[in-house]
Structure 1
Amino acid sequence: MRWLLPVVALIVLIVVLVRTIPSAPVTTVSYSAFTQKVGAGQVKAVDINANGAVSGTLKDGRTFTTQIPTVLDTSHLDQLLRTQKVEVTGSRTTSGGGGWVTLAFLLVPLLLIGGLFLWTGRRAGRALSGGLSAMGRSKAKIIEAERPTTRFTDVAGYEGVKQEISEIVDFLRNPERYALAGATGPRGVLMVGPPGTGKTLIGRAVAGEAEVPFLSVTGSAFVEMFVGVGASRVRDLFGEARKRAPSIIFIDEIDAVGSRRGTARLGGNDEREQTLNQLLAEMDGFDQSSGIVVLAATNRPESLDPALLRPGRFDRHVTVPLPNQTERAAILAVHAHGKTVAPDVDWNVIARATPGFSGADLANLLNEAAINAVRAGGTVIDAQGLDDARDRVLLGRRESSNALLPEERHAVAVHESGHALVAALCEHADPVAKVTILPSGPALGATEQLPEAERHLYTEGYLTDLLAVRLGGRAAELVVFGEGSTGAADDLAGATQIAARMIREFGLSPALGPVGYGTGAHRLGTETAEEPLRRPYSEQTQRLIDEETARLVRQAEGQAVGLLREHRSALDALADVLAARETVDGTVVLDVLRRNRRGDDGLPGTGKVQET
């Protein structure tokens, strides 16, 4: 039908050209002039239609037209034409281009519309006949001959995770080794971890390492607006895997299709639930010899349906946590490939300065450092560039145009000096790495602390000192100015949250006792906004929690105020140094503290005091 539209367009063009081609010149004369020409013998032939329109030809070849008045008696005209022997003909058609032209103009639009409907109908029919069959096909990306270049060596750290995944790959390569021991291969492996920890990267590494077909698909690729399409795609996916068995299926973000059933709002979601039911049926484990292993990744394991997590479906649950310090150093070295790094860069130092960073955060850190190097007119990433990139990631872009008033600048210097000195004076606090009063993002200044070692447990002494450090800025304002300011808003919110968790979850309140009200929402180290809506305790207990939280915060503020009043000279000296130099490191803080602190024996102190 591709020829229909051009043909119809050509017909329309021809008709228009026929209508617009100029014909021989025709002269219109009056009826009186016409009769005079007939009487003078100048008219050769005339054609008269039923409406009295006359078109004629003169003896000299010229043509003319006229109109006979219908109200007049034309018998004398008939006699005159007979006398002059003029050839007279009659016609029922009208002049002006012919009837076929008019008919063409009436039919061409109808033909054009009809042809358009016919063409679109056949096109839609072909799409429907092929589309309905293709709609239920899986959208999995099948990787066989050309596998990704990612290998396990590109995944730094996570040796335990890679070992479990490697065992699955080895089982698919050599199933007879496990059969001799009576072992059956796992049906599925679920990788759980915070966003950015490399779950998808590990899946790509499996595709690179495995010598079996690898089918990759995302959970959202199953769900459609039509009920039954997702289940059909699941069947097609496992059908393709069985044709290529032994094989691996990788489902990224499986929570998009594997969420708990019966929790959907507005009447439920039949399409998603049917898709999940089909996935459960395919993974049920009736055929142990199929040689199909399903890898899945999610950062929301609490939302998955329990039937999906039972043995026989996802037999193994592999946790991919945030990397520790050693793993962060290895990840940084991997992401540094292809970049020019200065000799002064120590990955162990950078790893120590980035606690809580995921693999994606570390990749972003190096990318920001490379952008800073280009912005500075170079191509080499140095230690200072990495430090600036870390501040950019944690605090936001540095606002060089955000000029503070002199009194604000002094207030920020006092505030940050309070944080730094309390951190240096508290026994369990992390060491101070850097103090700055340069605005970055929403923060007007920052005090950075770096832990000496990777922590996994936090004692009550550490948490108490952490509260005091958080309130050190407000305490400095109270000591120097006699009043607080809005600059401590974030500090107060963070301190209140830490104190509330100490009371509610960690059982560190003598008044409440060893009772913990954990919600289970911190499985991945994150908190949910719905937590306050599901309190498993009474209003009286909540009142007691509020009172104990306020007590801890007040106690921490009192501790910080007492330390700063005792070391008021060091506070003033450090504030002056900050106002002059804008940014100092932790050694400057300790040096100021030593030079302005009096020991009991008159000698400089160590920079640390016992908790009071």
Structure 2
Amino acid sequence: MVFVLLLSRAHNPAGTALTYSAFLGKVEAGQVRTVDIDDKGSVNGKLKDGRAFTTRIPTALGNTGLAQQLRAKNVDVTASSSEGGSWVGLLAAVLLPLLLLGALFLWTGRQAARTLTGGLSGIGRSRAKIIEAERPTTRFDDVAGYEGVKQEISEIVDFLRHPERYAVVGAQGPRGVLMVGPPGTGKTLIARAVAGEAAVPFLSVTGSAFVEMFVGVGASRVRDLFDEARKRAPSIIFIDEIDAVGSRRGGIRLGGNDEREQTLNQLLAEMDGFDQSSGIVVLAATNRPEALDPALLRPGRFDRHVTVPLPNQAERAAILAVHARGKKPGPDVDWDVVARATPGFSGADLANLLNEAAIHAVRAGNTVISAQDLDDARDRVLLGRRESSNALLPEERQAVAVHESGHALVAALCEHADPVAKVTILPSGPVLGATEQLPEAERHLYTEGYLNDLLAVRLGGRAAELVIFGEGSTGAADDLAGATQIAGRMVRDFGLSPALGPIGYATTGTPHRFGDEAPGEALHRPYSEQTQRLIDEEIARLVRDAEQRATTLLRDHRAALERLAALLTTRETVDGAVVHDVLRRQPAASPDHHESGPEADRS
């Protein structure tokens, strides 16, 4: 309609409409310059002043001598036919909308066909990210530590690059490598380094990308993934979080996940195919190896199992140096000291530590990251944010100072305990104070003496409250829970109870630290109620003996306890050197000091 309107305007130029009598009058007055007359009597013209006009000649009057009048007044006369304009308007009004509708239907049909063929058939296509030409910039040099892991992976890459070297000896390349380790230890980072180092195509996919709501999609995607890898052989397939698709299969049960099992069966079939010289290596990563199906772990599928543990102290220092690239550490920063202060940190934890330190430095108005920024960032990561608004009452502040002084002094007095690094009574997160101990070296075995000292240090805060105030408080709740957990593992797992004997009821899995227990352990006890009663008695005895030992130590060094508590109340934070200095300056204890009970101490 808009096009027809514009066309009509183009064929009927706008102008002033004149009656035929007015038109004749202007002709007689000599005001008309040009006229255009069609076969229907329609007149379009222009006056000598430039204005346009339109009029119609009454054809019923016949020949009235208009031509002689126009010739006499020297008017430029032209003639036109109305048939051409009408046909153009008809074609424009009819054919153009039809053409537009036809183009619209054609485009819609192609989109529907693309959706039908590419969409539905694309559901079964694997969603692997294929890395061939543009490889990641990560290399093995960017992965600090883990030399054994890098050697295992490097052999895989070398086999794919130079298979003839291994064929001479008759060695066959591994079919799969499974990387197992806690979260954040760098399994995916190592895979990116493999993609950067390898001169072969690298297909990366996550385990969750196989399973969809449609039946058979997972198996189809596994087939397509291996087909793509065979087209590019030799190649590497990396499956991150493989436990999402390779979880343990159950027996005959109602409501089982048949789709997940079909996907796993297809993966097993692809990895154990008849073609042993396909040149495809599957690299997988998981932090839950106990959840994987045993068929995946047998030789011929995942031939090598590589453990990626938490980094040791030297590896943590190297990881910190790698993550410090692009940041500005100050001259007082020593990565070895920071690594010693972060036992049990993974690579991801260390990266987060440096980022928190950089944020703290910016908040403080500094342009470089200082050692204090790293120390504050570590406290924030371990303890939480400083609660400046959480003001303690004077008596609570004194109680927290006594409590933390007890932890610090017992740790300094015990032979096997880790050295004290810092004692603070500043509230952070849910805790009101903290005593930080840093091990001198990485421990892999823990002796009975170390565990007994660990129990005494845990109960040092409660013992200090009993010595100074004569009664305990709720501040020792976390310490008691931790001590009970440690004592429970000493009795059940490590056979360190004379009453129970050298019997170990190991928990499921391998905890990384003391105090970590498998969830639901209490629901599956491989012993009787009588044994449980004996275990409870032994746990109570160990905790009670540790409290008695801590109380005796603090009574013998009560002067040092009071002095350290006073320093903490004044300074709020002291380091380990202050604790040892307080112990060295302690005067000799009086003979009757050991006989003073809690009531006398409180008075």
Residue type matched to 2:119 in 1? G
**Partner of residue 542, structure 2:** 552
Aligned residue among 474, 477, 487 for 1:499: 487
Structure 1 residues 516 and 597: CA distance shift in structure 2, 3 A: farther
Alignment equivalent of 2:322, drawn from 330, 334, 342: 334
CA distance in 1, matches of 2:560, 2:297: 58
1:174–1:577 Cα change, 3 Å = same
Shift of 1:541: 1.3
Q: Please give the alpha-carbon distance, in whole angstroms, between the structure 2 residues aligned to 1:245 and 1:119.
A: 39
Is the Cα contact below 8 Å between 1:156 and 1:334 reproduced in 2? yes
Task: Tell me by how many angstroms 1:569 deviates.
Answer: 0.7
Asked if the contact 1:241/1:249 (under 8 Å) is kept, the reply is yes
Which residue in 1 is equivalent to 2:407? 419
CA 1:269 to 1:553, structure 2 compared with 1: closer, same or farther past 3 Å? same
- Structure 1 pair 221/439, CA: closer, same or farther in 2 (3 Å)? same
Deviations 1:241-282 (CA, angstroms, capped at 9, x unpaired): 000000000000000000001179861101110000000000
The 1:240/1:576 distance shift into structure 2, 3 A limit, reads same
Query: Displacement of 1:530 after TM fit?
Result: 2.2
Is residue 205 from structure 1 mapped to residue 193 from structure 2 by the alignment?
Answer: yes
Aligned equivalents of 1:220 and 1:128: distance in 2? Answer: 25
User: Offset of 1:485 from its aligned partner?
Assistant: 0.8
Q: How much does 1:580 deviate?
A: 0.3
Note if contact 2:179-2:306 (Cα within 8 Å) is conserved in structure 1. Answer: yes
Match status 1:322 vs 2:313 = no
Q: Which residue is 1:73 aligned to?
A: none
Confirm or deny: 8 A CA contact 1:194 1:524 kept in the other structure. Answer: no
Equivalence for 1:578:
568
Paired residue for 2:435, among 434, 447, 457?
447
- Which residue matches 1:180? 168
Matched, 1:243 2:231: yes
1:420-473 deviations in whole A, cap 9, x for unaligned?
000000111010000000000101000000111111100000000000000100
**Residue 532 (structure 1) aligns with:** 522
CA distance in 2, matches of 1:170, 1:483: 67
Query: Aligned letter for 2:439?
Result: P
Once residues 319 and 413 of structure 1 are traced to their aligned partners in structure 2, the CA distance between those partners, rounded to angstroms, is 43
Shift of 1:531: 2.0
SS at match of 1:340: coil
Are 2:151 and 1:150 aligned? Answer: no
543, 560, 583: which one aligns with 2:533: 543
1:292 equivalent in structure 2: 280
Give SS of 2:245's match: helix
Task: Report the equivalent of 1:253.
Answer: 241
Computed over aligned residues only, the root mean square deviation of the Cα atoms, in angstroms, reads 2.2
Is the 8 Å Cα contact of residues 402 and 561 (structure 2) preserved in structure 1? yes
TM superposition shift of 1:123:
5.2
Q: Look up the SS of the partner of 1:142 in the other structure.
A: strand
1:216 and 1:251 in contact (8 A); partners too: yes
1:233 aligns with 221
Q: How far apart, CA to CA, are the structure 2 residues paired with 1:476 and 1:516? A: 34
**TM-score normalised according to structure 2 size:** 0.79
- Displacement after TM superposition at 1:286 (Å): 2.3
**2:397 aligned with 1:404:** no
Letter in 2 for 1:276: L
Partners of 2:393 and 2:565 in 1: CA distance: 16
CA distance in 2, matches of 1:432, 1:313: 49
SS of the counterpart of 1:457? coil
Q: How many residues align?
A: 491
Corresponding residue number in structure 1 for 2:468: 480
Distance across 2 between alignment mates of 1:542 and 1:118 = 78
* One-letter amino acid of the structure 1 residue matched with residue 441 of structure 2: A
Alignment partners' CA distance in 1, 2:336 and 2:254 = 52
Aligned counterpart, 2:355:
367
Q: Is the 8 A contact 1:198 1:360 kept in 2?
A: yes
- For residue 346 of structure 1, what is the aligned residue in structure 2? 334
CA contact (8 A) 2:557 2:589 kept: no
Equivalent residue for 2:257? 269
Shift of 1:379: 2.2
Deviations 1:370-398 (A, max 9, x none): 00011011220010100000000000001
